């Protein structure tokens, strides 16, 4: 899902110039400094206001062909208009959010893999940005491209579920695109089996939903003896059976989807485990300013040379500084899936070449985090900070 923030100000121009400086370890490869940008806005009272802040470089990745075919002429003309930059505004998220809240304006949010209203991504977007308007995207890639093309200001995407595990596609897209993680939301997932009003659950012959939702309700669906069919999203499944009046077909979706599309809930809370939680990330063109006055989390990705104890050394840079790791994920590199190593005793050997994704509880404004990454960079062949952002400390709800 993608979100668009509309503070009521008109963008006049963006003036950028480079910041010269070194990372804490004296190197310039982590991209912590970037550019300084002055944003000139025109308020409704014709008073000009300039905002200065620091930001990293924007993405240069093109949008996918499939997404470009879906983009409206308005979106295409915005990219062609040279008076407006091709990529995102700099980091003034908190300024805009504060202005919008004080002025009573609406935030527009776009979320990926959320084809229609009533999906869980929409609920996550509403939790992150209560005053927002959701803009649905059919595919994960489309949400990334929507932010990069200036069609929206935020993207909200699921990255892991307590039952289904990690959503690997979004980890790959985080590396491919140059968006920044600016927040997270943990949302309790409560699945319902729904159908056309008047239909009993025993009459159902098949159930449609997102593959993750079907997998999370496997025990219940197996007992019902129904055929399972996967679709793009949960709420889209509910909309489909309502639009076509399919009396032999049920959907697994949220209670709100049943309400929106006039369906009747046949079974409530059918997930295999009641503690079913999905973690969503908020993505933006520019990072938020790291702080130390509240709980922050930082996400990074890096690669290592093959060798004994190398991963242990990488993880020890955090343990030595009492930094708690909340997630470790490994993904084979697409461009270099295998590495051939010449062993003089046994000949050549082939190893998977991995990317390591790590989340840890510390802000990049914390000296411990800066020193840990400086230490890690001494033996990492590649290192990139995906984002340093506030942790979701609120109670989870379905």
Residues forming the active site? 278, 280
Helix residue ranges, H only, 165-279: 168-176, 211-216, 218-224, 234-244, 255-260
For residue 207, give the nearest of 269, 266, 150, 161 by alpha carbon.
266
Kindly give the pairing relationship between strand 192-195 and strand 264-268. Answer: antiparallel
Name the CA dihedral angle for 147, 150, 151, 153, rounded to a multiple of 10 degrees: 50
Distances (CA, A) of 66 to 143, 237, 295, 324, 372: 12, 22, 39, 40, 40
Encoded tokens for 178 = 């140059």
For residue 114, give the nearest of 106, 123, 104, 102 by alpha carbon.
123
* Helix 140-148 vs helix 168-176: crossing angle, to nearest 10: 20
Kindly give the pairing relationship between strand 180-188 and strand 165-166. Answer: unpaired
* Helix 367-376 vs helix 310-319: crossing angle, to nearest 10: 170
For residue 151, give the nearest of 118, 111, 123 by alpha carbon.
111
**Contact by Cβ (8 Å): 248, 168:** no
R_g (Cα) of the chain, nearest Å: 23
DSSP 269-303: --SS-S--EEEEEEEESSPPPP-SSS-EEEEEEEE
Distances (CA, A) of 159 to 112, 124, 189, 303, 380: 11, 12, 14, 20, 24
For residue 33, the 8-state DSSP code is S
Is 250 exposed, middle or buried, given 0-12, 13-18 or 19+ CB atoms closer than 10 A?
A: buried
Compute the C-alpha angle 234/113/120, nearest 5°.
50
């Amino acid at each position: 899902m993608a979100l668009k923030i509309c503070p009521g100000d008109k963008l006049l121009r963006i003036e950028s110039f480079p910041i010269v400086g070194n990372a804490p370890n004296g190197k310039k490869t982590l991209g912590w400094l970037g550019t300084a940008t002055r944003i000139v806005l025109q308020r409704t009272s014709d008073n000009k206001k300039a905002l200065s802040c620091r930001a990293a470089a924007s993405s240069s990745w093109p949008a996918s062909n499939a997404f470009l075919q879906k983009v409206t002429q308005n979106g295409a003309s915005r990219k062609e208009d040279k008076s407006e930059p091709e990529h995102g505004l700099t980091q003034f998220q908190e300024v805009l959010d504060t202005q919008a809240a004080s002025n009573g304006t609406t935030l527009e949010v776009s979320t990926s893999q959320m084809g229609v209203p009533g999906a869980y991504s929409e609920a996550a977007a509403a939790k992150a940005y209560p005053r927002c308007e959701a803009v649905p995207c059919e595919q994960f890639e489309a949400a990334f491209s929507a932010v990069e093309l200036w069609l929206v200001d935020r993207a909200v995407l699921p990255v892991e579920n307590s039952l289904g595990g990690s959503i690997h596609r979004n980890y790959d897209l985080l590396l491919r695109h140059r968006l920044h993680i600016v927040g997270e939301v943990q949302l309790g997932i409560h699945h319902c089996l729904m159908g056309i009003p008047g239909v009993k659950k025993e009459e159902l012959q098949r159930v449609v939903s997102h593959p993750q939702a079907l997998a999370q309700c496997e025990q219940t669906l197996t007992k019902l003896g129904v055929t399972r069919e996967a679709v793009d999203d949960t709420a889209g499944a509910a909309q489909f059976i309502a639009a076509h009046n399919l009396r032999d077909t049920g959907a697994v979706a949220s209670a709100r989807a049943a309400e929106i599309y006039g369906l009747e809930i046949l079974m409530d809370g059918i997930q295999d485990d009641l503690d079913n939680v999905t973690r969503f990330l908020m993505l933006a063109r520019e990072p938020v300013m790291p702080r130390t006055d509240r709980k922050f989390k930082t996400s990074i990705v890096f690669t290592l040379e093959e060798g004994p104890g190398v991963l242990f050394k990488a993880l020890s840079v955090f343990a030595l500084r009492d930094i708690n790791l909340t997630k470790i994920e490994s993904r084979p590199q697409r461009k270099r899936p295998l590495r051939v190593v010449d062993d003089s005793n046994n000949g050549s050997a082939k190893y998977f070449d991995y990317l390591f994704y790590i989340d840890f509880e510390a802000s990049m404004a914390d000296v411990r985090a800066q020193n840990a990454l400086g230490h890690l960079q001494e033996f990492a062949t590649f290192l990139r900070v995906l984002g340093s952002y506030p942790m979701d400390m609120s109670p989870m709800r379905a």
